[in-house]
Every structure is written in structure tokens, then in C-alpha cells.
Amino acid sequence: MTVSPAKPEGLSELDRPNSYIGKIVPRPNLERLMQGRGLYVSDVELPRMGHVVFLRSPYAHAKIVGIDATEAGRMPGIHAIVTGEQLSSVITPWVGVLSHLKGLKSAPQHAIAIDRVCWQGEAVAAVVAIGRAVAEDAAEIVKVEYQELDPVADMRTALDPETPVIHPCLGDNLAFERSLDAGRVDAAFADSDKVVEANFIFGRHTGVTLEPRAVVADWNAAEARLTIYQGTQAPHMVQNIAALHLGLEDAQVRVVCKDVGGSFGIKVHIYADEMATYALSKLLRRPIKFVADRIESFNTDIHARDHRCWGRIGVNRDGTITAFEIDDLTGIGPYSMYPRTSAIEANQVVNLVGGPYVTKNYRARARVVFQNKNVMCQYRAVGHPIACSVTEGLVDLAAAKIGRDPVEVRRHNLIADDAYPCTSPSGLRFEQLSHHAAMNKLIAMMDYDALRAEQAALRKRNIHRGIGIANFIEVTNPSAAFYGVGGARISSQDGVAVRLDAQGSVICQTSITEQGQGSESLTAQIVGSVLGVSMERVRVILGDTDNTPYGGGTWASRGAGIGGEAALQAAKILRKNVLDVAAAILQSSPGELDIANNVVVNANDGSPRIELRELARIVYFRPDTLPPGIQPELMATRHFVPREYPFAFTNGVQASWLEVDTDTGFVKLLRHWVVEDCGTIINPQLVDEQIRGGVVQGLGAALFEKCIYDERGQLTNANMADYLVPMSGEMPDIDVGHVVSPTLETELGAKGAGEAGTAGAAAAVANAVNDALRPFGAIITEIPLTPQVILTALGRI
Amino acid sequence: MPISLKVNGERIEALVLPRLNLADFLREHLKLTGTHVGCEHGVCGACTVRVDGEIVRSCLMLAVQMHGASVETIEGLSDSGEVADLQAAFRERNALQCGFCTPGMLIAAQDLLKQNSEPDRERIRQHLSGNYCRCTGYQAIIDAVENTARARMGRQS
């Protein structure tokens, strides 16, 4: 860290009054949320605002024969009832493909379905009224005549010749396929002492943000400008897409993102009903509000992780892993999502399997198929839980096969901590990872040997506890390689503008966004540290395309690493500018001055020279008193994008300790440990809580969460009583530790931490359940691990 | 239908439709948007408020049932200072991320602390197990409630 060039004698950089980097400081503005005085999109009201309710298809696949809204349209309070055909006069359809995902195809998708619906929940008409209840009343009497078509429900038969092709124009139901063959896979398997294989099955699940997706779109016909209030992770992306499809310039669209009630990747996409809401505002020339209800959330928020992945691993008796091979199949619904596409998760699985390990022999195939279910796309830790569960499941199977301890086998095969930089068989470039240091720390934290002893003792009493370990790598700080190179107008750079106001406080505008991760806090911490200004005097503005620099937003664990670096660089420039002015005022030189605690001080002894408040007063109100020729510049802007590495990979390892009730099939989570390495830690508390929250999302996937579809493509558990999410009663305490390997690509050195928890939690739990069930000879490679799955594996039902 | 009730200590007279639920009444009629709507079927706990001292899911109550009742929302509990120490503990422990569950979580936690001044972690986890939080993983919330209980005990002794 070199953010504080001068320091008073005897104080380390971290001891300076305003050195916030690496320290636990409370997030600014929590009070607003705790007092119920935040402003979520669902709270926004505008004059003349209409409320839209979407009439949605009850069928997974059907032809729309006719829509009769005559009677409904006559009801009092109804502004309009709009079909897909009518809405298409103001908004164009889209196709969710990117050119770097070679061969990816999809069909044009409309904001509201025209002629045909392709999943249960696709909107067929919009009812706009003075209130939501009024619109819902009218929606009930809109008559839609459907002719049901055969749905494609099962991904396993989606490519069979006898299965209907959902989009005949595409020729088949294959959206995307990728193959990879690295090293000498066949020879490696042939030469292995043992080869183990398994089929891994992952339940389709979804994000269940507590605040459903919500949009208020306000087309001001007089200004010819659209203001979109939306809880989105990527305001500039929304601006661009809305403008593109409404026939506007970006400058005619403003996206405002206030408080967001959870996102996790759910709110980083462009949904058809959101597009319809923008278009309705333009069509009807008034503000329109859409708030999804919970059933709509289950039926239309992107789903994720519906994968079936065959895998095999070769291993020698000494524990050396010789090769990995996988064949992954996933069903993404009827369309590739826009604009990020639905091929990324499978692509990530191919990239990440085997990632922590040395072997260079790796073969993979991934196929992505269309089906008549809700769309799937990127949700927290995209692809990581699949890749990690397959890899770590296979490693445990291999260890069991050769009768060795799973930790020992991992240590034998993890890439050495001094082997970096290096490249994976799938071409991933690792700058610096720390698998062994992380494993050592984890083993110490959990007291592995003691747990093994406890496990053995309890087994004698017919208590079945298990330990599961899962190593992982994590994609963070994505460069343009993620989306930009494929033609998506999704920025990989971020910008920060910092200025000193007229009272010496700091206003900071950043293009990253806040959904609770602490973007605001980390920005203020960095800016305060660099400038020598106390955090309470730094105000951070984000989430407004009119009032922030252009940038990507907060997703894929990029906020701290990319937006944080931009903040650091902008603050450095402002610091220099402040010291230049201070030197002129004080007849000193910038090198002899420093800033600490909101005061310009002597660099050598810290004695105060001029308060920032006074400096700002002079600059803004009495510039006539400055020496001739001085033009102060108390605002600085910097942008940053990673250029050396396409992604800043991080790593970590998780462990689960749990008990399986072999009579009921219930799993009790007793403890969970995580050690991860996100480089420089800006705020340890925020990182730890990101990880804990991520772990619990992974635990939900491991034990509870599954969108259950029937053979007609009907989602049968679209409510929170039947779709189980983790609640406080079932969750364990989670211990988090860190290894710190800063990225050298930035001065800040921060990598991301948002995916780490979710990446490995399910794998650790699945391995622990299998470890617990070892005396029974049962092996389960399916999640969620419901009592039914466990009892079936035990032969009890 | 006409109803007369107290909300955060203020007398309110209102005309409401029989089907209007309490959550929508608070949010849409009284603009008390601190009461959040997450699932609208009584599972997530985001709409938790206090009615005559007892916590309820305001999405499962009708506004007309509130005739003669006293309703307290997060805005009222914040202004009265009743949960100030709990809020401070949440801030210290970063026990909220997106904050959408937080008003309901605070009201449910305060309910527990009124019934049981020294709950252990298991009891806290149980009491809050009807309040869904997708962000935190719950541990920080449990810590914050536990810390508040300890601090209140300390003040009493």
C-alpha cells in the first residue's frame, strides 16, 4: 500500500487519523435503512403515475389465439390494456447473443409476447390502472384464448429428434456448445491407478431478493426524456439498452437507482416486463410503476444452476490427480437472456473445473439447451458452485477410492503457492493464489484432527457427523473480456469524481452501485484515507446516470477492485491539487505538506497549517487573494479498468461440519469455516459479511432451494412457503479467515469477495454429507440434499 | 368502511375498502414506507409491525381489523428511541446489507428482548426464524441482538 506518501514519525500508515483501509468502520447511511426511511423503488410515487399489472401465460408453451380486453378496458380506473403487438410500435425486440460465445444463438424476444408464449409466466398483456388492485381486478376479466403446444420441459430430451424445436428458425434446441481438450486426457486416464466417475445433479434455483424487481419509468414527452427508477446493479447498461430499443439516444435516458432490496445478480439483467414498463410510459405518456409480486418473481426472475454434469477423475495411489473430464448439460428456458446471455454459466463451468489443481489434462464439453421454462442466467457466483461441486465431489471420490484423507489428497494436488503466475488448462491466467496457505489456515481454524477424532467417537454411538472440504477459485474484477469483447455495451471500466466542497468536505461520485455490499463505505474509506479527510466528511453519490461518471456498476465482484482503484487514483489527484493550492497560500512547497484529519499539516512534524475548510473558502470565495496565475482545481476524475489480467482470480477453501439423522434424512449444520484471499481488504467486516451471506446462499442451494417443475413445464412451488430458503433457525455460525495476496495490477491491490461464499458452500456440505454416510456406503451427488434424497440414498424409502 | 385507530401514537380516521390489508394501508394511505412488502403471504416477515403490543405480519391483517387498535411501525419505534440501542448494535455489527428486511427484523428482535431479557443464540435464531434475510447469513443479526441483550442487562444491574 502506498496511498499515504508521508507519515508522521512513529505512526504507521494504518495509524494515521484517517487511515480507514483495512479497518472496520460502520457503513455510512445505515441509519436511513434501519429507521425505515430509505427509498426503494417500491416506495417511489410520481404525479399521474399509473400501475401496471401483467397478465401472464398459465401455459409453458402455447399459441395466443386472441385477446379480448373490451370488458376489462371499460372498468373504472383503467388507463389502458396493451398487447405485445400494440407495444411493438414503441419498442423493438432483442436477441441475447454475444459474439465471443461462438455459435450461441437465440430468437428475438418481445417485451410482451406476440402470437406465442414460451414459458409459464411470460406476459401476454399489460393492464395499466390508477392502482395495482384495480389493474389486478381488470386483468382477471381479460379473455385470452390459448392453444396449448407441446412443451419442452426436460433438458435431457431437448435435443432428441422427436422433441419439438421451440424456435423453428434456429433449427434445433441447442443454444450453445463448447468443447475443450487440454493435455493428454485419454493417455492420463489409461495410465491412472484408479478412475472414478459420477453424475452430478443441481436443482434449478433462484435469487429470491426480498424486494422484488421494481421499476418506475417516467417518459416526459415535453422533455423527450425517459427517467427510469430501478433497483439495478448496472445503471449505464440499463440506460443504453432502454435507449437502443426505444429509439432514443443514451442522453435521453436517465437511470436512477436509490436503495435496492437485494440483487445477487437477479437485478443485473434486462427483463421483458421491465422493457415493457419503459415502453408503456412512452406509449401512454405518463409515469408507470411495475412491482413484481412474489409469484411473478418466482416465475420471471432469472433462475440458475439447472445443470446435470457427468464427471470423471483419474488418480494414482500416491494421491496424484491425473486428469479431469466433464460433460455438462444445462437448460436455460426459451431465450438467452439479454444482454449478458445465458451461456455464461456453462462457459464458466468449463473454465473453472479442476481450477485449483496442478493437472494439465482436462477435457470438457458443455451444452446449453432451450426449454419451455423460465429463463436462466447469471446469479451470484455464476458457474462456480457447479464447477466446485463437480471438482470437489470428484476429488473426495478419488480420495475415498485410494483410501486417503481428502485433505492430504488436496494438498498433494493444489497448485503450489510459489508457482505463480501460471495458466490453467482452460486458459485462465492466475496472478497469485494461495491455496496451501488457505488450506493450512482452515485446518488450524477448524482443528481438523480433533473433529476427525470426535467423528470417530460419535460413530460408535450411531451419531453420523461428516466433514466436507471444498477448494475453489473465484472470478473477480472482470475486464472487457467478460462482455465487452462480445459486443455488449456493458462497461468494464469505472469512474470516480472527487471534489472538495466550499466547506472543505468531500463529494465523491462513483459509477459503482450499492445494494448493501458496502460500495459507499469502501469508496468513502479509500477517499478519506488518501485525502486525509475524516469519513463523515466524505459523501458518496452513486446510482444515477446523470450524476456519476460512466461505468459498469456492481456485479461480478468488481466494485472494490475496479471502482475502488478509480476512487484511489481520483483522490490522489485531488490531494495533489489541494496541496498545490495550500503550498501557494502558505508559501510552502507541496512536498513539505500533508493532509491529516481535515487539516493541511507540515509533513515532517504534523503541525497544522491550514484547515481544508479555510482553504476551500479562499479558493471558492476569495481567489483574488491567491498568488497570480494560480487556478485551483478542487475536483478530480479518474477511471480504471484492468488491462493486464482479464480477471483477477481469487481462491479459498471452505469446510462444513454437520450431522445427518439417518432415520429422518435431516441434516443439521453444526459449523462452517471459510478461508479466502481477496487481496487487500478494505473493510474486514464488510468482507466477512459478504462471505457469510454468500455461504448461506450456497447452503440454501445445498439443502433447500429448488424450483420444482412438472412435465408440462409448470412451476409448482412458486411461493415462499413451498420454495424453501435458509432461515436463521437452520443456519450455523460461520468462521471466516483470510490470506492476503494483493493484485499487483492496482495500487489498491483489492480483488473481489462477493462470490467466494456461494462458490464453495454447497460442495463442502455435499462432501460432508457423503463423509457422514460413509459407513452406509451411500454416495449422493445431487443437491438440494433433501430428506427424501438422503433417505433414498440410504435405501430407507 | 370507516376505521379509527392509532398509528405511532397519532389518531387516524380513514375510509378503507374491506379488502385492503394493513401493509398496503400503512404504505399507500399513510405513506409509512418503512413497512416493507416481501412476499404478501405471511412468510418473509418484512412487513412485521406491532399491533396493541404484539407483533403481526401486516400483509395478513386487514386494515378494517385495526379499528380501535394501536399500530406501531419502524418509523414510530425509531422516533420514540425504543429500539435505538438495537439499531446501534445492528450498525456496529453490520447486521444489515440491503436493509429491506431490517425494519421487520428489528421489530421481531425487540419483541424477543421484551419477552426474554437473556436469550441465548439458539433462542434468538428461533425467534427470528420467521424473518427472511437474503444478504447477511443471519450471524451478524444474531450477534447484534445478543449484544443488545447483554448491554440492556448490564444497564439494569
pLDDT in tens, A425-459: 999 999 999 999 999 999 999 999 999 999 999 99
Q: What is the mean pLDDT of chain A?
A: 96
Last residue of a domain, one of A616, A640, A664: A640
Residues A29 and A50 in one domain: no
The confidence score (pLDDT) of residue A8 equals 40
Q: What is the C-alpha separation between B95 and B74, in angstroms, rounded?
A: 16
What residues contact residue A780 under an 8 Å CB cut-off, 6+ apart? Answer: A766, A769, A770, A773, A789, A790, A793
Q: Which CATH superfamily is domain B83-156 in?
A: [2Fe-2S]-binding domain (1.10.150.120)
Residues A628 and A724 in one domain: no
The confidence score (pLDDT) of residue A483 equals 92
Across the interface, whether the CB atoms of B74 and A30 are under 8 A apart is answered no
pLDDT in tens, A742-777: 999 999 999 999 999 999 999 999 999 999 999 999
Of B102, B132, B135, which has the smallest distance from its Cβ to A725's Cβ? B132
Of A35, A516, A694, which has the smallest distance from its Cβ to B78's Cβ? A35
Which of A264, A724, A727 to substitute to test the interface with B, most B CBs within 10 Å?
Answer: A727
From A280, A218, A292, select the one nearest A255 (Cα to Cα): A218
8 A C-beta contact, residue A602 and residue A663 = no
Please state the φ and ψ torsions of residue A440, each to the nearest 5 degrees.
-60, -40
Nearest-Å Rg of the Cα atoms of chain A is 28
Alpha helices for A4-155 (secondary structure H): 30-34, 70-73, 84-87, 132-141
Q: Would the pLDDT of A666 be above 80?
A: yes
Number of alpha helices (DSSP H) and beta strands (DSSP E) in chain A: 19, 31
8 A C-beta contact, residue A478 and residue A556 = yes
Chain A residues touching B26 at Cβ < 8 A: none
Which of A30, A34, A731, A733 to substitute to test the interface with B, most B CBs within 10 Å?
Answer: A34
The confidence score (pLDDT) of residue A15 equals 67
Chain A residues touching B96 at Cβ < 8 A: 30, 33-34, 516
Q: Are strands A303-304 and A307-315 parallel, antiparallel or unpaired?
A: unpaired
The angle formed by the CA atoms of residues B88, B94 and B96, to the nearest 5 degrees, is: 95
In DSSP terms, A669 is beta-bridged to: A658
Please state the φ and ψ torsions of residue A706, each to the nearest 5 degrees.
-165, 130
Residues A550 and A627 in one domain: yes
Residues A610 and A665 in one domain: no
Mean pLDDT, rounded, for A576-601: 97
Where does the pLDDT of residue A13 fall: very low under 50, low under 70, confident under 90, or very high at 90 and above?
Answer: low
Chain A residues touching B132 at Cβ < 8 A: 208, 210, 720, 725, 727
Q: What's the domain range around A90?
A: 41-149+212-260+266-300
8 A C-beta contact, residue A170 and residue A358 = no
Residues A620 and A682 in one domain: no
The angle formed by the CA atoms of residues A284, A286 and A288, to the nearest 5 degrees, is: 95
Mean pLDDT, rounded, for A146-171: 98
Chain B residues touching A693 at Cβ < 8 A: 97, 134-137
What residues contact residue A667 under an 8 Å CB cut-off, 6+ apart? Answer: A658, A659, A660, A661, A703, A765, A769, A785, A790
Q: What is the C-alpha separation between A374 and A707, in angstroms, rounded?
A: 10
The confidence score (pLDDT) of residue A243 equals 98
Asked whether residue A682 is domain-assigned, the answer is yes
Sorted by where each begins, the domain ranges of chain B are 2-78, 83-156
Last residue of a domain, one of A580, A608, A640: A640
Q: What is the C-alpha separation between A418 and A28, in angstroms, rounded?
A: 39
Q: What is the C-alpha separation between A552 and A562, in angstroms, rounded?
A: 9
The confidence score (pLDDT) of residue A2 equals 37
Last residue of a domain, one of A595, A611, A640: A640
CATH number of B2-78: 3.10.20.30
Residues A599 and A714 in one domain: no
Residues A94 and A238 in one domain: yes
Which of A35, A45, A519 to substitute to test the interface with B, most B CBs within 10 Å?
Answer: A35
Q: What is the C-alpha separation between A22 and A680, in angstroms, rounded?
A: 8
Q: What is the C-alpha separation between B35 and B54, in angstroms, rounded?
A: 16
8 A C-beta contact, residue A102 and residue A56 = no
CA A545 to chain B, closest CA, distance in angstroms equals: 21
Chain B residues touching A721 at Cβ < 8 A: 41, 43
Half-sphere exposure of A598 (CA within 13 A, CB side): 13
Measured between CA atoms, the residue of chain B closest to residue A259 is B98
How many residues are listed for chain A in this entry?
A: 797
CA B71 to chain A, closest CA, distance in angstroms equals: 15
In DSSP terms, A310 is beta-bridged to: A199, A327
Asked whether residue A481 is domain-assigned, the answer is no
Residues A514 and A501 in one domain: yes
Chain A residues touching B90 at Cβ < 8 A: 30, 34
8 A C-beta contact, residue A96 and residue A108 = no
For chain B, give the percent of residues with pLDDT over 70. 100
Mean pLDDT, rounded, for A707-723: 97
Across the interface, whether the CB atoms of B129 and A689 are under 8 A apart is answered no
pLDDT in tens, A14-59: 567 889 999 999 998 899 999 999 999 999 999 999 999 999 999 9
CA B102 to chain A, closest CA, distance in angstroms equals: 6
Q: What is the C-alpha separation between A655 and A428, in angstroms, rounded?
A: 25
Across the interface, whether the CB atoms of B138 and A208 are under 8 A apart is answered no
Where does the pLDDT of residue A421 fall: very low under 50, low under 70, confident under 90, or very high at 90 and above?
Answer: very high
Where does the pLDDT of residue A7 fall: very low under 50, low under 70, confident under 90, or very high at 90 and above?
Answer: very low
- Identify the H or E element spanning A307: strand A307-315
From A568, A600, A553, select the one nearest A754 (Cα to Cα): A553
Residues A424 and A541 in one domain: no
Across the interface, whether the CB atoms of B134 and A262 are under 8 A apart is answered yes
Chain B residues touching A697 at Cβ < 8 A: 134
Measured between CA atoms, the residue of chain A closest to residue B26 is A43
Q: What is the C-alpha separation between A263 and A546, in angstroms, rounded?
A: 22
CATH number at residue A734: 3.30.365.10
Number of domains, chain A:
3
Q: Would the pLDDT of A4 be above 60?
A: no
How many residues are listed for chain B in this entry?
A: 157
Q: Does A721 touch chain B (CB under 8 A)?
A: yes
pLDDT in tens, A342-367: 999 999 999 999 999 999 999 999 99
8 A C-beta contact, residue A758 and residue A381 = yes
Q: Are strands A50-56 and A205-206 parallel, antiparallel or unpaired?
A: unpaired
Q: Would the pLDDT of A718 be above 60?
A: yes
8 A C-beta contact, residue B49 and residue B58 = yes
Residues A515 and A634 in one domain: yes
Residues A614 and A502 in one domain: yes
Across the interface, whether the CB atoms of A689 and B106 are under 8 A apart is answered no
Q: What is the mean pLDDT of chain B?
A: 97
Q: Would the pLDDT of A181 be above 60?
A: yes
Count chain A–chain B contacts defined by CB atoms under 8 A. Answer: 173
Residues A619 and A516 in one domain: yes
